Amino acid sequence: MNNLFTYGIDEYPALMDSLGQPTFRAGQLARWLWQRDAAGYDAMTDLPKELRARLASAAPLTRAHVATRQVARDGTRKYLLAFADGVSVECVGIPGRDGRLTVCVSTQAGCALGCVFCATGQGGLTRDLLPGEIAEQAVVVGRDFQRRVSHVVTMGQGEPFLNYDATLLGLRIINATDGLGVGARHITLSTAGIIAGIERLANEPEQFTLAVSLHSAIQTQRDELMPGLRGQSLERLHTALAQYYEHTHRRPSLEYTLIARQSDTDAQLDALADFARSLGAHVNLILLNKMPANTNPIGDDAPQRPVGTPQRSTYIPLSENHANEICARLRTAGVEATLRASRGADIDAACGQLAAR
Ligand code: SAH
Ligand code: SF4
C-alpha cells in the first residue's frame, strides 16, 4: 500500500493494471487529480464505484490541506500546505502580466545544505517530498488564483537535486498533457549546484530550464556562504555546466545574491564575470531578502552554529541603485545580467524566506 502521491504519472497505467483495469483508466485518474482537482476518489464519478474503493485501499489519497494563506501588497500569495503525515511546506503564487502565473514550489520540507543567508537552511531537513506533493503545490495555487499555471520554479524550500527522482517525477506531472500541461521550458530547476544532478539533468528528455545558485565565484567565499557544499570545487561546477551546455544546447542561468561588502567587491565581480562569460550564462542578480524573525538566528546563541560561521548581521542587502550599477558593469564586461524583482517580501514570501516550521 503506497500513498498515491508516491507515484509518477507514468506509473498510473501499472497501478491500474495491478487492479485489473484497462490503461485508459490511468488517464482518467490523472485528469481528475491534476486538472479537475477532485477532493478524493469518491469525486471521480466516471470511475466504477468498486474501483474507487479498491484504489482507496491500494493507493490512499489525501489532498494537501491549506493551513494558512497570505496575500502580499503586490498580489503574490503564500501558502502553508500540510500533507497527510502533518509535515508542511510553503509555496508561492506570483501573478504576472498577460495572465502569467508562476508557482514557486518546494521539493523538500526544509533543507540540509544550511546556506547562511537562507531561512530554510537554518531549520535543517525534515523530509523529502513525494512527486505528487510537489505537483500538488501547483494545483493548490492554480485553484486559488482560478488561473492556469504558466510557469513553475523549484525555488521554494529544499534542494531539488538532493531529492532528484521525486522532483523529476513531480515536474513530469506538472508537464504532462494529462497533468497540469505546463511547458518544459517554463519549468525551472533551481539548484545550489549539486554536480551529480546537473549531469543527470543533461540526459533527461525534457527541455527543463536550469538555474544554478552561484552567489560567489571565489571558492573561499562560496564555501562560507554555502557550508553544505564545502569541498565542492567551483572548477568542477564550471566543467559540469559547460558539459551541460554542450550536451543540451540550453544555457544555464546563474543566481547571484547581492550581499553588501562581500559580493560587490571588484574581485568578486571580476570572478563572476569570468565564470558567467565563459559559459555564456545569464546572471540573475537577487537582492538579499531578510530572514523572517521566526527563524533561528545565526548568532552567538545558536547552538548549531558551526565554528567560524559569521553572524547574521554580517549579511546586509545592497541598495537597488547599487545593484543596478553592478548589473550595468556586468553587461559592460560582456555578461547578460538582470536584476530580479523581489516579490512578496512583506509576507516573507520572497526567495530564501520560506521557513521550515
Ligand atoms: N536549493 C535551491 C532552490 C531553493 S532556494 C537553490 O539554492 O537554488 C531558491 C533561491 O533563493 C536560490 O537561488 C537561493 O540562493 C535564493 N535565496 C536563498 N536565501 C535568500 C535570501 N535571503 N535572499 C535572496 N535570495 C535567497
Ligand atoms: Fe537549501 Fe537553497 Fe536555502 Fe541553500 S538556498 S539552504 S540550498 S534552500
Segment 149-188, tens digit of pLDDT: 999 999 999 999 999 999 999 999 999 999 999 999 999 9
**How far is it, in rounded angstroms, from Cα 159 to Cα 197?**
10
Ligand nearest to the CA of 253: 1
Question: Which pLDDT does position 296 carry in this prediction?
Answer: 46
**How far is it, in rounded angstroms, from Cα 215 to Cα 212?**
9
Reported as a single tens digit per residue, the pLDDT across 189-222 is 999 999 999 999 999 999 999 999 999 999 999 9
Query: Which sign does the torsion angle of CA 127, 130, 134, 136 carry?
Result: negative
> What is the helix (H) or strand (E) element at residue 29, kind and residue range?
helix 24-34
Ligand nearest to the CA of 159: 1
Question: Which pLDDT does position 295 carry in this prediction?
Answer: 60
Reported as a single tens digit per residue, the pLDDT across 32-84 is 999 999 999 999 999 999 999 999 999 999 999 999 999 999 999 999 999 99
> What is the helix (H) or strand (E) element at residue 280, kind and residue range?
none
Closest listed residue to residue 101, CA positions, set 51, 156, 151: 151
Q: How far is the CA of 155 from the centre of ligand 1 (A)?
A: 7
Ligand nearest to the CA of 121: 2
Give the Cβ contact number of residue 242 at 10 Å: 15
Question: Which pLDDT does position 294 carry in this prediction?
Answer: 56
Whether the CB-CB separation of 107 and 95 falls below 8 Å is answered with: no
**How far is it, in rounded angstroms, from Cα 46 to Cα 28?**
8
Reported as a single tens digit per residue, the pLDDT across 268-316 is 999 999 999 999 999 999 999 887 765 644 333 334 444 445 455 578 9
Q: How far is the CA of 290 from the centre of ligand 1 (A)?
A: 12
Q: Is 94 in the pocket of ligand 2 (CB under 6 A)?
A: no
Q: How far is the CA of 62 from the centre of ligand 1 (A)?
A: 30
Reported as a single tens digit per residue, the pLDDT across 150-161 is 999 999 999 999
- Mean pLDDT throughout 242-250? 97
Angle between helices 195-202 and 234-248 (to 10 degrees): 10
Question: Which pLDDT does position 312 carry in this prediction?
Answer: 52
Hey, whose CA ends up nearest to atom 4 of ligand 2? Answer: 115
Reported as a single tens digit per residue, the pLDDT across 25-36 is 999 999 999 999
Q: How far is the CA of 117 from the centre of ligand 2 (A)?
A: 9
Candidate of 91, 108, 116, 118 to mutate for ligand 1, largest count of ligand atoms within 8 Å of Cβ: 118
Reported as a single tens digit per residue, the pLDDT across 332-342 is 999 999 998 88
Q: Count of alpha carbons within 13 Å of 109, Cβ hemisphere only?
A: 16
Candidate of 92, 103, 104, 115 to mutate for ligand 1, largest count of ligand atoms within 8 Å of Cβ: 115
Hey, whose CA ends up nearest to atom 15 of ligand 1? Answer: 213
**How far is it, in rounded angstroms, from Cα 314 to Cα 332?**
29
Q: What are the two backbone dihedrals, phi and then psi, of residue 163, each rounded to the nearest 5 degrees?
A: -140, 55
Q: Where are the alpha helices (DSSP H) in 226-348?
A: 234-248, 266-279, 320-332
Candidate of 89, 90, 116, 118 to mutate for ligand 2, largest count of ligand atoms within 8 Å of Cβ: 118
Q: How far is the CA of 118 from the centre of ligand 2 (A)?
A: 6
HEC per residue, 180-248: CCCCHHHEEEEECCCHHHHHHHHCCCCCCEEEEECCCCCHHHHHHHCHHHCCCCHHHHHHHHHHHHHHH
pTM score, whole prediction: 0.94
Q: Is 114 left (phi over 0), alpha (psi -120 to 50) or beta?
A: left
Question: Which pLDDT does position 346 carry in this prediction?
Answer: 85
Q: Is 159 in the pocket of ligand 2 (CB under 6 A)?
A: yes
Question: Which pLDDT does position 347 carry in this prediction?
Answer: 85
**In sequence order, what are the residues at sequence separation of 6 or more whose Cβ sits closer than 8 angstroms to the Cβ of residue 8?**
131, 169, 172, 173
Whether the CB-CB separation of 13 and 26 falls below 8 Å is answered with: yes
Query: Which residues are known catalytic residues?
Result: 90, 351
What does the mean pLDDT of the chain come to? 92
Question: Which pLDDT does position 356 carry in this prediction?
Answer: 54
Question: Which pLDDT does position 342 carry in this prediction?
Answer: 81
